[in-house]
Structure 1
Amino acid sequence: MKRITFYLDFISPYAWLAFERLPEVLEGLSYSVAYKPVLLGALLAQHANPGPAGIAPKRDWTYRHVTWLGHAHGIALQMPARHPFNPLPLLRQALACSDDGHINRYVAGTVLRHVWQGGQDALDPARMADLAAALAEQLRPGQDIASEGPKALLRANTEAAQAAGVFGVPAFEVDGKLFWGLDGLPMLRAYLDGDAWFDGPGWDGVSAVPSGLAAKG
């Protein structure tokens, strides 16, 4: 059985789409998934990447694209009332349900649906209270959104993701290999199926391709 680490931030619509698509894409395989919340903003900042929402035309395209993808795949997806937003409260709420930085599929799905279904404000206080109630049975003793435990787990998760080379979400790690994005799922499936391509130069050889851009002084 292969163990897949699924790095996600609830702010990402592609994480929601990948969450829903993953079981279908990997149907018939023996695997387990460890859902690992991380702070996408920190991953982007590490590489001075403003993210799609930081470039106005790309922001519009991204929102249009993910809404279409939801339609194309039959996945309910409505843009929340505000986006982007500060995902920290949601990440900490999820990690209040964790002992080791990983959350189960129920917790991940509950928070993702809270954001990506219904078109409401993800951080509305009344809705946040409803989310906490929905996750009450999953909470670890003495933990809540304001506890130090979830904050520490989020820092550790994000630092571990950065060290592993994760630069965005969703990202999937298996056997030390990283697959990025919703459109990386077929490639992940091919690897898990034992595609011989992964034994050739196609994976590691790209690192040896020289850059044609001059180094910044």
Structure 2
Amino acid sequence: MKDVTFYLDFVSPYAWLAFERLPQALEGLSYHVRYRPVLLGALLQQHGNPGPAGIAPKRDWTYRHVAWLGHSLGCGLDMPARHPFPPLPLLRLALGCSEDGCINRFVAGTILRHVWLGGQDALDPVRLERLAQELAQQQVPDPDGQQGRAKALLRANTDEAAARGVFGVPAFEVDGRLFWGLDALPMLRACLAGDPWFQGPAWDAAARVPSGLAPGY
């Protein structure tokens, strides 16, 4: 059985879509998923990447595209009332349910549905309180009562993800290999299924192609 680490941030619509599609994409394979929340904004900032929402025409396209994908894949996706939004309250709530930086599928799905179904404000205080109550039985006692453990886990998760080369979400790690994005699920499946391509030179050779641009171009 292979271990798959699924890096996600609840602010990402593609994280929701990949979460929903993962069981179908990997059907029939032996694997175990570890859901690890990270702060997407910190990963983007490290590479000077404004993200899709930072480029106005790309923002428009991304929101149309993910809405259509939710429809076409049958899982639904309603843009929240405001997007992007600061995801820290959701990330810390999720990691309040964790002792080691990973959360279970119930916690991940509950928070993702809170954001991506219904078209409501993800940070509305009344909705956040209701969400916290829904996850109350999953919570791990925090000695300082100030989400100190959850904050520390989020920092550690994000730092570790960056060190391992994660630059965006959703991202999946298997045996030290990273797969990024919803459209990487077929490639992830092939890797888990033992496709011999992954044992050949192509994986490493692709990353060694030199750039044809001069510095500062």
TM-score w.r.t. structure 2 length? 0.97
Query: Is 2:117 aligned against 1:88?
Result: no
Superposed displacement of residue 121, structure 1:
0.1
Q: CA deviation at 1:214?
A: 1.1
The residue aligned with 2:13 is 13
Whether the 8 Å contact between 1:11 and 1:87 is mirrored in structure 2 is yes
- Give 1:97-176 correspondences, 5 Å limit: 97-142=97-142, 146-176=146-176
Q: How many aligned positions are there?
A: 217
Partner of 1:54: 54
Amino acid across the alignment from 2:105? R
Greater than 2 Å deviation, 4+ residue runs: 142-146
Q: Over residues 83-107 of structure 1, what are the superposed CA-to-partner deviations in whole Å (9 max), with x where a residue is unaligned?
A: 0000000000000000000000000
Q: Distance in 2 between matches of 1:81 and 1:136?
A: 25
Q: How far is 1:181 from its partner? A: 0.2
User: Cα RMSD (Å) of the superposition?
Assistant: 1.3
Match of 1:30 in 2: 30
Q: Please report the TM-score for the alignment, with normalisation by the length of structure 1.
A: 0.97
C-alpha contact (below 8 Å) 2:171/2:181 kept by paired residues? yes
Tell me if structure 1 keeps the 8 A contact 2:142–2:149: no
> What are the superposed Cα offsets for residues 167-203 of structure 1, whole Å, 9 maximum, x if unpaired?
0000000000000000000000011111111122221
Hey, what's the Cα distance between the residues in 2 that align with 1:142 and 1:92? 12
Q: Say if 1:44 and 1:50, in contact at 8 Å, map to a contact too.
A: yes
Q: Aligned AA for 1:121? A: D
Shift in alpha-carbon separation, 1:103–1:113, aligned structure 2, 3 A: same
Which amino acid is 1:39 matched to?
L
Partner residue, 1:209: 209
- Percent identity reads 73
> What's the secondary structure of 1:203's corresponding residue?
helix
Q: Does 1:41 align with 2:41?
A: yes
Instruction: List gaps (5 residues or longer) in structure 1.
Output: none
Q: Deviation at 1:147?
A: 1.4
Distance 1:97 1:7 in 2: 16
